Every structure is written in structure tokens, then in C-alpha cells.
Amino acid sequence: MIDPAARALLDLMVQRGVPPAHTLTPDEARSAYLERRSFTQPAPPDVASVRDETGGPVPIRVYRPLGADAGAALPALVYFHGGGWVIGDLDTHDTLCRELANGAGVCVVAVDYRRAPEHRFPTAVDDCSAATRWIAAHAAALRIDPKRLAIGGDSAGGNLAAVVAIAARDAGDLPLAYQLLIYPATDQRAASPSHITNGQGYLLTSDSVAYYRAHYLEREADWLDWRGSPLLHEDLSRLPPALVLTAGFDPLRDEGAAYADRLAAAGNRVAYVCFERQIHGFILMGRVLDEANAAVALCAAELKRALR
């Protein structure tokens, strides 16, 4: 059964005539996504400090948690926001980054990677890899511990985090301590059963999946590139421990589960949790969905445990 609160939210969106993302231009979809946060997201909690940093290859926003020693080198989470590689930004995920910083007691560094269609694949991958490397190289200035550096993201951001982890392993010079993969997109072919059973009526539709993919991946051949579909990489061994979180009424559910299974089969430490009653994007909706707050608490607890 779908969470009654999620069902009520979906029904309200229909009643109010909220247009699906795939019917909007990218700029219109970005504005609509940003505006919705005031209705569905909790108030942003206070943190010790927030600052924007533009000195590196990609703009970032750095959060330090409440109670942190100003000079302490904290464990850190490099976070890539969701939004289908097209929408979403530092502001749409500001509350979540604050919650994770405080809940896990870590420094969260959110990455403002360039979005499609203005910047198509693999620009977002390159930006996220470059930003993660810059953050590790400037750990002392950022007051973080480079030996306790995690990466994470939701949806498209989970895709980018998975890809950065593989690329870092292959390069051999950027050790990462953990992966937080929240309903990640892992297979651009969009052929798993959940794309059919959950393809209509649950916020993220098959039409919107195709919309985002078409803006991000210019050629169908790119669907098979592991930088777009990390599930298709032939070797998923020797990767950082991971938490993979999915939602039961999400088109991406099965590919997230498949990625967790392949990580585990390749010998990695993996925890997999499916919030069976939830929809795609739910972790941002703590004002209206209680299970969103439970999911944030779980992610924070696992980060804290992994990076302690």
C-alpha cells in the first residue's frame, strides 16, 4: 500500500493542476521544482556555518554541523543533488544537506554541477569528479579529513555518486570511505519491471524519465556508457561501502535494487533499504511525509557510523 500521506500529496497535485515535468521547458521545470520546496520541505535547520566557495573548478556550498569545533577536521560528505541532471540546485537540496550535516556530525559539501540540456553528458560526471578531487586536495582549507570522505546523492545525484566512486577506484588516487545512494538512476535503458508498474501516477512518470534522459544523453548509444549507466560497468568490485535506498512506488526501484545486489555480489559491503510505501523524491518531503524524516535519520546514522 502506498503511504496515505504520499497518496494525499499526489491527489492534491492533480487537483491543483500541477503540470508534469515533461510538459515544461527546462527553465519552467527548474522554477516549479524550486517553488514546491516551501510546501513539502521542512524548515531548514540551523547549522554552525554555511558558505559558498567558488575558487575551485565547480561552485560548492560547505555546511558545518551544529556543535562542531570551528577548527576540527571533520569527516565529510560530498553531495550531488537530484533532478534528472536537468533541474535541482544547491537551494532545492539545502534543507537535506543541513539535516545530514547535523544528524551525522559531518561537513557536507554540496556540488553545483552544470545541468542539461545546456551541458549534456558527460559534463555533470566531469564536474562531479573534478569537484570531489578539488575538495580532497583542499581538505585542510575546508577543515575536513580527507581519509573520511564520502560521496552521495539522490536520483540523478545518486547516479553521479556511483559513477564518481567507480572512476575514483579506477584512477587509484582518490580513496573514498562511503557511498550514500538515494534512489539512484543506474540503468538508462529504463527497462526494469518497476518502470512499467510505477511508470504512471507516482510523481516521477515514464514520460518524465524519458524527458530527463533525452535532455542529458544526446545519443541512444550513451545509454550503454557506464558513466550514464553504472549498473552496466563490468567490474563493480573494490568500491566503497554503500547504503542504497529505494522507494517502492518509484520507477527507479528495481535498478537501485539491482545495483545494490551487484555491489554485494562483487564483494562490497552494502546495506539496502526500500521504503516500500514511498514515491520517488520522498526524502525531501519531510514537511508532509513522516517517512521522509525517518529516511533522513537513517542516512545520517549510517554516515555517522561509517565515518566515525
Query: Would you name the residues annotated as active-site residues?
Result: 155, 250, 280
Answer yes or no: are the C-beta atoms of 20 and 207 closer than 8 Å: yes
Residues contacting 38, CB < 8 A, separation 6+? none
- DSSP at 22: G
Residue 58's closest CA among 132, 5, 2?
Answer: 132
Distance, CA of 291 to CA of 264 (rounded, Å): 26
Answer yes or no: are the C-beta atoms of 134 and 144 closer than 8 Å: no
Distance, CA of 83 to CA of 205 (rounded, Å): 13
**Phi, psi dihedral angles at 85 (to 5 degrees):** 65, 5
Give me the amino acid identity at 83. Answer: G
Query: Where is 60: in which H helix or E strand?
Result: strand 60-64
Query: Where is 79: in which H helix or E strand?
Result: strand 74-80
CA 8 vs CA 5, 202, 275: distances in Å? 5, 11, 17
Q: Is the dihedral of CA 291, 253, 239, 149 positive or negative?
A: negative
**Phi, psi dihedral angles at 182 (to 5 degrees):** -100, 115
Tell me the three cell numbers of residue 281.
523524491
Torsion-angle region of 125 (φ positive above 0: left; ψ -120 to 50: alpha; else: beta): alpha
Q: How many CB atoms lie within 10 A of CB 259?
A: 29
